[in-house]
Structure formats: structure tokens, C-alpha cells
């Protein structure tokens, strides 16, 4: 493993994208209001909030796992360890998955469908701006160990 590695990106795209999408969803709800397609029933509310809570729990679990391994959570910093346990055992990008779930939860809380629409848009944007550069970084940094991990662990779903 090389002693130093260039960071995967110079801009921390994921938090910028999430903040931008939240602001856009709020602005769009005023500029172009769309009716909430769901029912205002207890089961729908529980399901929506359950997704949001699951996203928050997944985020905390992933962050604690990265911290335990002594590597960064920051998407614009070089990784110091290849983390393949915790939530990373199941998916390569649990933090970005958690963002989508949390946006779905906010959608249910606010009954703002723009959060759902923009959460879906977040997936290709974060893949292009963050995931692909991170994958190149991890492959350059950890070589065969990363390639083996990537071959057995799905990126998203």
C-alpha cells in the first residue's frame, strides 16, 4: 500500500449535494407545490419515519465503524484503511444510502414530495461526483484487497 495517496476529490460533494437538495426541495415546494401522493395515515407515517430513522441509524453505524478503523468520514480526504465490516460488509456506500433514506424520512415529516424526487436525483449525482472517484482512490490505494471487496459487495442495492 502506498505511503501517501491523493484524496478521492477536492470538493466534499455528498454534504454539499444533501444541503443543496434540502434547500431545493424547500424552495420548489413554494415555487411549484405538488400534492403529497400518500395518505395521511398512521401506517404510512410510521413507514416514512422508519425509513428516516433507519437512515440516521445507518449513518451513525457507518461513521462509528470508520472511526473505529481510524479512517476519515470526509469524502474529500484520503482513506487510511479499507473498511469492510459493519455496514460496509453489506454495501460499499452505506453513508450515501443513509442520505437517501433520511431524505425520504424528511419527505414524510413534511409531506413535501420534492424530497423524494430530489433524493432519487441524488443517487446518480453522488455516484458520478463522489462514488466513482472514491472507488478509483480505494483501488489505487488498496489494490487487490479493494478489488476483491468490490467484487463481493454491492455498491447500492
Structural contact between residues 84 and 149, judged by C-beta atoms closer than 8 angstroms: yes
Is the confidence at residue 4, as pLDDT, over 70? Answer: no
The span from the CA of 119 to the CA of 114, in Å, is 8
Give me the pLDDT at residue 43, please.
86
The domain in which residue 125 lies consists of 13-152
Answer whether residue 1 is part of any domain.
Answer: no
Answer whether residue 54 is part of any domain.
Answer: yes
Kindly report the average pLDDT of the chain as a whole number.
94
- Total domains, the chain: 1
Amino acid at each position: 500500500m502506498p505511503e501517501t495517496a491523493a484524496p478521492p476529490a477536492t470538493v466534499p460533494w455528498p454534504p454539499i449535494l444533501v444541503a443543496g437538495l434540502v434547500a431545493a426541495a424547500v424552495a420548489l415546494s413554494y415555487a411549484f407545490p405538488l400534492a403529497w401522493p400518500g395518505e395521511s395515515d398512521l401506517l404510512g407515517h410510521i413507514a416514512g419515519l422508519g425509513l428516516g430513522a433507519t437512515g440516521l441509524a445507518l449513518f451513525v453505524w457507518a461513521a462509528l465503524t470508520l472511526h473505529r478503523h481510524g479512517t476519515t468520514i470526509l469524502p474529500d480526504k484520503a482513506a487510511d484503511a479499507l473498511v469492510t465490516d459493519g455496514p460496509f460488509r453489506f454495501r460499499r456506500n452505506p453513508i450515501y444510502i443513509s442520505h437517501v433514506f433520511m431524505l425520504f424520512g424528511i419527505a414524510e415529516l413534511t409531506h413535501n414530495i420534492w424530497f423524494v424526487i430530489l433524493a432519487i436525483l441524488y443517487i446518480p449525482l453522488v455516484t458520478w461526483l463522489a462514488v466513482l472517484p472514491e472507488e478509483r482512490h480505494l483501488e489505487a490505494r488498496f489494490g487487490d484487497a479493494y478489488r476483491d471487496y468490490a467484487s463481493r459487495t454491492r455498491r447500492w442495492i
